[in-house]
Structure 1
Amino acid sequence: MKNSVRNKLMTLALIVILFPLLFVGTINYFIAKSELDKTGRIGMQNGVYTLLDMIEELDDQVQSGNLTLEEAQERAKTQIIGPKNENDTRSIDNPAKYGENFYFYVLSENGTLEAHPNIEGENLYDIQTKDGRYFVREVIDAAKNGGGFVGYDWAIPSNPDMQAPKITYSAFDPRWEWIIAAGTYEMDFNAGAKNLLQYTLLTLLIAIVVGVGLFYIFSNRMTSYIIKVMAMTSDIAKGKLSGTDIPIESQDELGKLAINVNNMKSSLNEMVGNTRESSNKMRTSSEMLSAITEQTTASADEIHHAIGEITKGAVIQSEEADIAINKVDNLSQLISNTAFQYAGVVKEVTKMTSFQKTGSEKVNILERNSTEFTEVINGLKMNFTHLTERMGEIQNIVQTITSISAQTNLLALNATIEAARAGEHGKGFAVVAEEVRKLSEDTNGATNRVRDLLVHIEKETETSEEHMSHTLVLSQGQAGAIHETKEAFTYLSASIGDITALLYSLENDMHEMDSNRQVVVGAISQIASVGSQSAAATEEINAALDEQKSAINSIMHSSLELHTEAEHMHDLVERFT
């Protein structure tokens, strides 16, 4: 069975074994992978800096004259990668190894390969990856910025159609202006982690086979009791109580369950016998009670019909009187609500009048302030215009100073030349001419800075003048809006006066309506009192009859239900054999 206890136990065993081992194995794999990646990165970085130290030693020999630069660089290339072959390739002889595809190479600042196992001399500055990255430029930038790692996707040498993440560490050698780089694929770092993952999966498979086998044997022994209990309970559910008891083979919880099921079957046999006898007696009693209640119900219906005709007129009169009283009460409530709302309206109109006066005063103040603001803006705009004119004059003065400075510089230069011709006699004059020339140059520099500052101030002034013009337009628009608001307050004042006059007229009408209401309430109250007394007497009689009829109906309904339940109980008991 798909949902059997045995299958559930097997599933539980699989989960208990699978998930912990899978979790631990996965964690170990990722930890090992992370640590191997860190170790590989550190090894690459140390290898690059070792090569930088070697280049420094070779360069010291070049500086001391023991080696030429070309000899030192070729010796460095041989140490970094290996000796150069006849086909211009290099054998990778460097003992540093961080994976199958690891090697060192050297770049110039323009991307040319100074040393490489296969493509030495080629320029890779414009080479791109499939996603459009100039990875060689990134390697050069990382080296110049103090050294760093660069990751990108690149084709695997053994399978050019497949790409894998590759990592490169590069550093810059300032003596020869070389970029020393070490590169390999990330998969070379964590090859050991993959072996660990394979061993973990093998262990997981063995644990699943052994664990599931043990759980299968245990579940077969445990479910045999459950199957027997299911068979007996199924027979009991079908009404079969004559079967044999479950044999007791153990004293654990399942054995106790079998004992309880056997006891339950015995108790059900005894209960069914007693219930069968009780149901027969109940059927007979319910039939007699049903006959008696039917006769009593017929008599009660005749009495209720007679009394109903008598009370019908009184009830109608009472209902009409109640309706009239309710209508008058509603009218009274409406008048009261209207009076209350009228008082609120008068109060709000008074507040509105006060707010209208305050608003008019504020609008007048706002109108005066707006006029003054417009005048201030006009004055500022005129000041900015004058400032622009003064800036032009200052520009002319600065231009004149620049021209004088240039002439002075030229004169100082001529004086220096003449002093040089004069020899010893012109040395003092040459010193003075040199100081004059420096002063002229300082003056020229200062005037250039002043000219730049004036250009910046002129731009800021023009921008401020434009803002002033825009502010003036907004101010004029605001003045128009304030004028319209003032007119609106004037119209509002007139409307409030009209509403006040209408409220006074409404107050008089409400007083007259309240007087008429009181007269109508008095008359209807007298009519309602007489109708209520008549209806009360008839209602008491009718209520007593209703209670009697309700009691008889309840008895009759209960007797019918009792008879139905007796029949149902008899049918249920007959199912058990």
Structure 2
Amino acid sequence: MKSVRTKLVLLALIVILVPTIAVGTVNYVLAKNELDKMGRLGLENGTHVLLSVIEELDKQVQAGALTLEEAQERARIQILGKKTGEGTRSIDNPAKFGENFYFYAFDENGLLEVHPSIEGESAYDFQTDDGRYFVRELIDAAKAGGGFVSYDWPTPSNPDEKAPKITYAEMDPQWGWIIAAGTYEMDFNVGANKVLYYTFIMTIIATSVGVALYWFFSSRMMEYIKRIMSMTSDIAKGVLSGPTIPIISKDELGVLAENVNNMKASLQEMVGNTRDSSSQMRISSEMLSAITEETTASADEIHHAITEVANGAITQAEEAEVAIGKVEHLSVLIASTTSQYDTIIKEMNDVTELQENGSQKVEELAENSKKFTIVIEELRTNFSSLTNQMQEIQQVIQTITSISEQTNLLALNASIEAARAGEHGKGFAVVAAEVRKLSEDTHQATGRVRDLLGRIEAGTATSDSKMGNTLHLSQAQFVAIEDVQSAFNRLSTSIQEITSHLTSLDGEMHQMDDNRLVVVNAINEIATVATESAAATEQVNASIDEQKEAITSIMHSSVELHNEAEKMHELVARFT
């Protein structure tokens, strides 16, 4: 977490740096633009001066005072300087528009008429790294009446480093020379760079002075703030002792310190009074709580006892009413039971009569079942004999079938022999054909008889199986009839015993009805007394409930008062 002093210092940095940097940047940009304009204007004016010199020299040539070669050499010296022994020229022109500025001249074909180092060579095909023929561009600008051409060119101090260069070119109408004035743009901006440098120095000085002033005045402010923070922290912890804040100024911080001192004095007075009140309230609430607890305990015991008495009386009255209802219901049951008893006696007589008839019918059914079983066994024996006879018929039919097949074979042989005999065997052939036809008819008839016997045999087998099942059912029926007969015998014995018990029960029911009247009278007296007791206890219990509610309300209030007193005591105990 940053302190107020740090925030003020950061604010000072922002307030000082932002405007200073903004003003310095604007000044640098304006100065750079103005110097660029002045530099361009200087290049143009210098070129115009040289064009004027050439014009004057050409007038001397026209007047015969100088030859053209002499005039041109004087122009070269005026443009750049005298030629040295190495074939180069020194830059003696006093016009300077930068450290790397110089004039040079060439014709419209790019042949250098004046140059510091390569005079007499052609520059028409000179190119920049990006492929621009800047000399050709200068020729075009000069022919158009003069103009500027900018391009990147290696610096004299470091050939590997390139910088923007600007050149102004204009054509001389007398000799056809193109006068060019060129320099690096950085030479124009030397003054602007100085402005930027001094602006940076002033920014550092102003920032240092401003931060120091902010730091000094914020230190005085922080002394007040720290003392106020210390006192308010002690007050928050409950510490109200300690010296007050000295008032050393009359500004807002001094007023704030005086207000904090007054607040501390007011809290000391309030806490002292509250401590005394909370102690007295605590003692009083404890006494009231003890009294109400004792009163509530006594009321609870009385209420519990009265409640038990009331509940017992109410329960007794309710049970008496229930008992009366049960006795009355019992009397109705006794009367109904007596009426039903007569009906039961009558029904029991009918049941006895039916039981005797049923026993007789069961005996007859058992006798008929025995006879039916004997008949079934005779039928089964007859069916077995019939099955044996059908098997014998099957054997006879099998014999007839075999004879028919042999007869058919003999008839076929006879037909063959008759055919061999020719005319003499025709009569025999007719007989053989008839015999064969009879044999076939016999074979077909025996087949139908065999089928019929098969169906009869299947039906006989089915009937025999059903006869066996019928015999089994008849035997089971006979066993069931014996069980029914035994049950009828046991039923007869039970009916006799029930009749004996019913006769004994009739006398006991008459005695029960006589005792019922005595019990009803006694229960009515008990119910009357219990009802009166319950009413009295209800009135007493209601009064005790009202008293208990009042005591409970007082007890809750005393508890709440005690809790509030404890809270107030704990709150006040935090302050020292």
- Interval of TM-score (by shorter of Structure 1 and Structure 2): 0.3 to 0.5
Return the TM-score normalized by structure 2. 0.47
Question: When the two structures are superposed, what TM-score results if normalisation uses the length of structure 1?
Answer: 0.47
